[in-house]
Amino acid sequence: MNTPADLVPPPVPGEDGAYDLDDAALYLNRELTWLNFNFRVLAEARNERTPLLERIKFISIVGSNLDEFFMKRIGGLKQLVTAGIQDVAVDGRTPEEQMAEASDLVAELEARLRQSFDDLLPALEAEGIVVRRFEDLAPEHKEEILEEYVTNIYPLVTPQATDSAHPFPFVSNLSLNLLVTLRHPGDTQEHLARVKVPTSPGVNRFLRTGDGTTFVPLESVMAADLDRLFPGMEVVACEFFRATRNANTEKDEESADDLVEMIEAELRERRLAPIVRVAIGTGMDRVHKGLLAAELGLDEVTDVFEVTGLLGMRDVSELMRVDRADLKDAQHHPVDHPDLTTPGSIFYTIREKGSLLLRHPYQSFASSVERFLEEASQDPKVRAIKMTFYRTSGDSKAVHHLMEAARNGKQVAVVMEIKARFDEEANLGWAHDLASVGIHVTYGVVGLKTHCKTVLVVRQDFDGLRRYAHIATGNYHAGTARHYCDLGLLTCDPAIGADLTELFNYLTTGYKPSRNYQRVLTAPKGLKDAILEKIDREIEHQRSGQGGLIQFKLNALEDVDVCRSLYRASQAGVKVDLVVRDTCRVRPGLPGLSESMRVVSIVGRFLEHGRIYYFGNAGDEEYYIGSADAMRRNLESRVEILAPVERPELREELRFLLDTQLADAVAGWQMQPDGSYVRRPSDSPDDVDSQTAQIRRAEAQHWQATRLKRRQVRGVQEEPVRVGPPLA
């Protein structure tokens, strides 16, 4: 199975056989490679090894991703075009060319998405899960659905006329709408009305009948009951449309007098931002299509998309609410970290072990990160807590632990990133709550987003003040910690503690004197140069006969300087292994350029989100983890950190992760030189993917640690611990 290739012809070496590393054809386009990732996600909806309702989940994810793509990426490109900016990207495309090619790829992706959903409907129906339009229901089910609609939804519905006395109504972002054509009895003049489908956290897109396994789209119920909205009128036609607005409304914070006011203004403007696309149902009247385009300020040809079937495919996730465990992945329960299975002080454990590597969602977020914060908030020996926030959950225990710490008299400082897109409003609320209990809240450094994830705890130990730290690849978000694959490091390494003290002093003041970091690598100053220098070092090792090896696990590889350096490394013979989830600019496997380079993408039940940077360094290996992707924005416009992982036992865990993902023959996709991806062939139906291997490893380690502790309590000499599957 292949995904789409890049549309640009492959690069050609010069007469001397060498490639020009500035050749645009060497660098794949960011937008197209991200769309390509969604083809890989969609392939899971067609994968027969994936449980039926999980296949629906992947349909929903692609639908949601497409919405975000238009809000963020197409919205940004449209702004460049409107501003007359025709700068050519490193891949040789202008903003207009990127939009045109992305539009073609979106059309293909949308078609596959809807076909995939239609193909799943018979399989769902065979399991008793049915999606029906209202008009196709049995009479008794129609009556049941109408009663539910009239009682609990109809009061929320507001029809809006569109005529000379009523201007075309405001259309909110991602709203699904009915465009209703009406006539007075005996009159030939037609009138138009818009009716918004009132989906919200309290109103589902699908209504469910009797046994709860028949799903009826709300819009089809509303369309069948228009006589109630327009009594005495003749309903001529009812058509559907859905709008997507631009989410790129960022202002210049350097000129803002008040950052909070600026963010609040951005949120207001985003609600009113220009619409970037409208999806319409099949068969909409051409005049109405043109009217929508004109009223919403769109190009009828490029910005209005006619689609078959449901609009807003993200909502099909509601089908997963059916209580059918046999049609879903086996329920996953994170286990405790093997060193955190006892009730003693977590600070004592960290001090004794040196450092702990956390692997979510395989190991529990609650019994590690949240426990770390909870104990810090209550421990009378803890003097201060400092923490960064980028995103967190609505019921964040982390926030509540910090508030408890402040009430317990500890010094608490929080760097809250209120420019985290789509989470600005939530983060403003958290910032207010934290400040209300006396926590020192700052918003980072002007002009930079604070993307690093870290906690610093200062504790009065028996031998003086000691700094304990947590550095993570993912957010302090309990919800995503169950579905995102992330890494974290708990440590009391004095040098790392000193580095984080410097980092927080920078974040809470914004002052930029020369800061000397001993162990961590920081952006925007230092991290990118360090990565490039370490790549160059591998090249020198290769040339000196010691061998070179580079392995990165990332969400995205986009920075051109890093890509160019990786090309040079592969040219020199350095083995370059890249596990990149979505956007990846480099082309592996080009003769004479990237023959020793391979790019693998893992798409599984969990979202791959961790970042690892590994350098062979002629045997003196280096492992780093952190929240920074190899993207220009991360390396130059965000505050990021990478932390070294040095304990041999922890490195063994990272090595297992990298090796299993590079060899994954179930969830692994390998990039081809033309930018397409091929799913790796599995030799056996018994093969397991790398995420399942991680689950089994974590469970085995937990089981063995628990067994060891029980035997030690009973005074039994334990045999050496071996990592393997638990015995039956």
- Round to whole Å and give the CA distance between 445 and 511: 8
Q: Is 187 exposed, middle or buried (0-12, 13-18, 19+ CB in 10 A)?
A: exposed
C-alpha span between 171 and 476 (Å, rounded): 34
The one-letter amino acid at 653: E
Record the tokens describing residue 519, joined without a space.
């162990």
CA distances to 235, 277, 289, 290, 373 from 300, in Å: 26, 10, 7, 6, 53
Which has the closest alpha carbon to 166: 190, 131, 205, 194? 194
How far is the C-alpha of 34 from the C-alpha of 38, rounded, in Å? 7
Provide the pairing of β-strand 355-360 with 612-615.
unpaired
Amino acid at 330: A
Which residue carries 């955190």 as its tokens?
340
Single out the catalytic residue among 451, 470, 609, 702.
Answer: 451
Residues in the chain: 728
Q: Which of 64, 98, 62, 93 is nearest to 78 (CA)?
A: 98
Q: How far apart are the first and last CA of the chain?
A: 37
User: Across-strand partners of 242?
Assistant: 176, 279
Exposure string of 527-557, with b = 16+ CB inside 10 Å and e = fewer, is bbebbbebbebbbebbeeeeebbbbbbbbbb
Tally of CB atoms within 10 A around 82? 10
Beta strands 575-580; 597-602: pairing state = parallel
- Name, in order, each residue with C-beta under 8 angstroms of 600's C-beta and a sequence gap of 6 or more: 577, 578, 579, 580, 661, 662, 664, 668, 669, 670, 671
DSSP H helices in 211-312: 218-224, 226-229, 259-271, 286-295
H or E stretch covering 39 = helix 30-43
Token code pair at residue 705:
């640690």
Helix (H, G, I), strand (E, B) or coil at 639: strand
CA distances from 61 to 65, 174, 222, 248, 556 (A): 6, 15, 26, 21, 18
Residue entry with tokens 């409208």:
278
Whether cis (ω within 30° of 0) applies to the bond prior to 361 is: yes
Contact 192, 181 (CB under 8 A): yes
Query: Which pair of tokens denotes residue 525?
Result: 């100053």
Could you give the CA distance from residue 475 to residue 454 in angstroms, rounded to a whole number?
A: 9
Active site annotation includes 332: no
What is the distance, to the nearest Å, from the Cα of residue 256 to the centroid of all Cα atoms in its chain?
29
Catalytic residue positions, numbered: 451
